[in-house]
Structures are given as structure tokens and as C-alpha cells.
Amino acid sequence: MNKRPWNPHGRRNSDAGKGPGSYIPGFDWLRAFASLAVAALHTGLLGKPALFTGPVAGLGHSKVLADIVVLYVFMLAVPLFYLMSFYLFLNRISTTKHYTLRRLSRLSRLYLAWTGIWLVFYGSLRGVGVLLPHDFVDLLVKLASGWDSLYYFFFSLLLLTLLGIPMRNFMQRTLGIMLFLSVAFLFAAPYIVSRTGTLDFLVAHWDPLNFIPYLLIAAMFSRYSSLHKDSISKESLFIGCLLLIVFVLLVVLEGYFMVGREGSFNIMGYPIPPYTRPSIAFGAAALFLLSFSVRRAAGPVVAFLARYSLGLYCLHGFFNLFIIHFFIPPTGIASRIAIYAGTLLASLVTARLACRYTSLVCSRA
């Protein structure tokens, strides 16, 4: 009797590196990193960044370093989730019958369920009135932003997954042109908003336009990897290193052009747009490609974090607010570390227990 290869996720090996039956060890590491990073970002582990709000000299070396980690490391988490999701979807769309419908159905359930839970939770704290849209435009904003929650992720993922269905058959040149235009948007949008003082939605964290580059990167690499199966590890390592260099250069350029400049964006409490930045796209793409050079399977801790990365993402916002409200106010670094640790523990334990009864907290391809 033939057995399927063991997967540390405890599910079928569906991480499609060379087909639907292969397993990409590097994705476990990316999921573990991204889940820890996104929780650190939203719990305020290193505080709110002030790097782009005034002279660097007045911040101190430790604050500058902390802000760089927040703006250029933690912020890579959500783009990495998008890249992995799009890549796995595009690799399986033409090989597994009815997979597309199942995938779209699952994303719809995730969006509706978690946004609904958030509405009940948030409405009980602030009142039902704050949940009602003022007009049609406000309704669209609330839908796209998941009612200003973490679950905008599922709306954009669902929308862009639909757009990605025909991309499996696009030529590389076409995808490359589209990628160039989408990255050009990341360059242009912040300056359009800062100069006009309007169109704030272009740099909002929930704007699906922010995440189009990741769909195109995944589509290009999915097509490329299917044609270069034997050399993909070395080539992804080389290209990933080049993209890391570009990432560092873009970080330096952003610092030169944005630090202390007038008209900071103050989006979600951040002085620069969270995701409408080319540096984030290049940094996430670099880590994504480098993950294909990883051959060593993840250990039990990393595999556990990868397995419950979805649950950690969906649950940590609730437990963060609960811990801050009832137990530990964020008054300093020690309290923020305690809040982060408590949020991680509560979210992972809850996800582990709930996974027996529902797929809403279990990561799947």
C-alpha cells in the first residue's frame, strides 16, 4: 500500500513546487515568520514607528532600529501570505479538478465568518451605529477593509484570486509588463496622495491594488518553475539575493526622500503607507524566492507555527484587545512583551483546540 509522504502540517503535501504532490519546506519557515511578525506588528511589540516624522537624530539608535524592524521586517508578513497563497493556487488550478471552486468557496467562508465575528465583537464594544455605512462608497470601503479589521486580507485574496484564474495562461512578457505597471503604482500612489491631499484610499492598508504585484510575481514564478524544475533552487537563490540588494537600496532611498518631510500620511498610525511601497514588494519577493532554496524540513516548533498560522492571524486581534483591556495596559516594553507573549499563547492554544471542529483556523493550501 502506497502512503503519501509525511507533512509536518499534518495534511496532504499540497505545497506545489513541482506539482500538486510536492512539498516546499521553505514555506513552513515563511508561514512561521509571517505569523509571528504580523502578531508583533498588531500588538505593538516595538511600539509605533516615528522614523519618518522628524529628524532621525532626536530618536536615538534603539528607536531607529526598532522602527526599521517594524516598517521593513514586520510589514513583510502580509505580502508573504499573499505570495504563498497565489503561488499555491496557480500551481494547482490546472491540475486538480474543481480546485478553483473549492478555493473560492473557502476564501468566501473565511471572509464572511471572521468579518461577521468581528462585527459582533466590535459592535458590542462601540455600538451598532459605528458599523452602519453612511453611503454606497462607505459600504464599499467597509467591505474591502473588512469593516476596518484584519480580515481585509481575505477580501483582497478572494478578489485577486478571481483575477488570477486566467493568468496561468498568460505569456511571461505580458505578466512582466503588468508587474512593471503595478510596481509603478506603488511608486506613484503615495506622491499623488501627498500632493493632492485626496484619494487616501490609494495608500490604505486594505486597498487591493497594493497586492496586485504579488499575484503577478506568483504567476510569473509559477510558470517559470514549471519549465525549470531541475534548476529552480539555485536560480531562485540567485534572484532572491539580487532582490534583497534592491530591497536595501529602496529602503535607503525611502529614508532619504521621506524622513522629516512634510505631509506624512499617518495611515493606521504609521507615518508612511504600510504596503504602498516598492521596498515591501521587493523584500517580500526576495524572501519568497529564497524559500525555494531551503531543502531542510522544518522542525516541530516551526511546523506547529506554520500549521496554525491562519488561526494565529485570525485570533490574535481579539486576544490582544482582551488582554490590554482586562489585564495589561501597554505602558512600556516589558508590558508590550507580556501582551505579545500572552496573545501568541492564547491564539495558538485556541487554534489548536478549535482545529478539531472547524477549518476556519487551520492553514491549507
Give pLDDT tens digits for 195-237: 887 788 899 999 999 999 999 999 999 988 887 777 788 889 9
Residue 124, phi then psi, degrees to nearest 5:
-70, -25
Say yes or no to pLDDT of 13 above 70.
no
Say yes or no to pLDDT of 240 above 90.
yes
DSSP 8-state code for residue 303:
H
Confidence at 110, pLDDT banded by 50, 70, 90? very high
Residue 71 falls within a domain, yes or no? yes
Packing angle, helices 309-326 and 300-307, rounded to 10? 80
Q: What are the CA-CA distances from residue 352 to residues 55, 193, 357, 358, 361 (Å)?
A: 45, 43, 10, 10, 8
Mean pLDDT of 254-268: 61
Residue 359 falls within a domain, yes or no? no
Query: For position 21, what pLDDT does the model report?
Result: 43
Please say whether the beta carbons of 201 and 189 come within 8 A: no
Q: What are the CA-CA distances from residue 9 to residues 110, 163, 234 (Å)?
A: 19, 28, 26
Confidence at 192, pLDDT banded by 50, 70, 90? confident
CA distance 237 to 243: 10
Residue 365 falls within a domain, yes or no? no
Query: Cell numbers at residue 137, please?
Result: 462608497
CA distance 253 to 270: 18
Q: At CA 121, angle to CA 119 and CA 127, rounded to 5?
A: 75
Query: For position 60, what pLDDT does the model report?
Result: 61
Query: For position 11, what pLDDT does the model report?
Result: 43
Residue 364 falls within a domain, yes or no? no
Based on its alpha-carbon atoms, the radius of gyration of the chain, rounded to whole angstroms, reads 20
Say yes or no to pLDDT of 316 above 90.
yes
Burial class (CB in 10 A: 0-12, 13-18, 19+), 121: middle
Please say whether the beta carbons of 357 and 311 come within 8 A: no
More confident residue, 62 or 81: 81
Residue 146 falls within a domain, yes or no? yes
- Please give the tally of structural domains in the chain: 1
pTM over 0.75: yes
- Residue 279 amino acid letter: S
Residue 338 falls within a domain, yes or no? no
Say yes or no to pLDDT of 287 above 50.
yes
Query: For position 198, what pLDDT does the model report?
Result: 77
Query: 242: domain range?
Result: 26-295
Query: For position 66, what pLDDT does the model report?
Result: 86
Query: Cell numbers at residue 129, please?
Result: 451605529
Residue 319 falls within a domain, yes or no? no
Say yes or no to pLDDT of 19 above 50.
no
Q: Return the top range by mean pLDDT from 16-30, 52-66, 177-191.
A: 177-191
Residue 330 falls within a domain, yes or no? no
Query: For position 59, what pLDDT does the model report?
Result: 58
Query: For position 6, what pLDDT does the model report?
Result: 38
Is residue 229 classed as helix, strand or coil in its secondary structure?
Answer: coil
Is residue 267 classed as helix, strand or coil in its secondary structure?
Answer: strand
Mean pLDDT of 57-78: 81
CA distance 179 to 213: 6
Among 131-145, 267-281, 322-336, which stretch is predicted with the lowest mean pLDDT? Answer: 267-281
Q: At CA 81, angle to CA 254 and CA 23, rounded to 5?
A: 130
- Residue 175 amino acid letter: L
Query: For position 48, what pLDDT does the model report?
Result: 80
Confidence at 348, pLDDT banded by 50, 70, 90? very high
Say yes or no to pLDDT of 10 above 50.
no
Query: For position 265, what pLDDT does the model report?
Result: 58
E strand or H helix at 51: none
Say yes or no to pLDDT of 15 above 70.
no
CA distance 20 to 178: 27
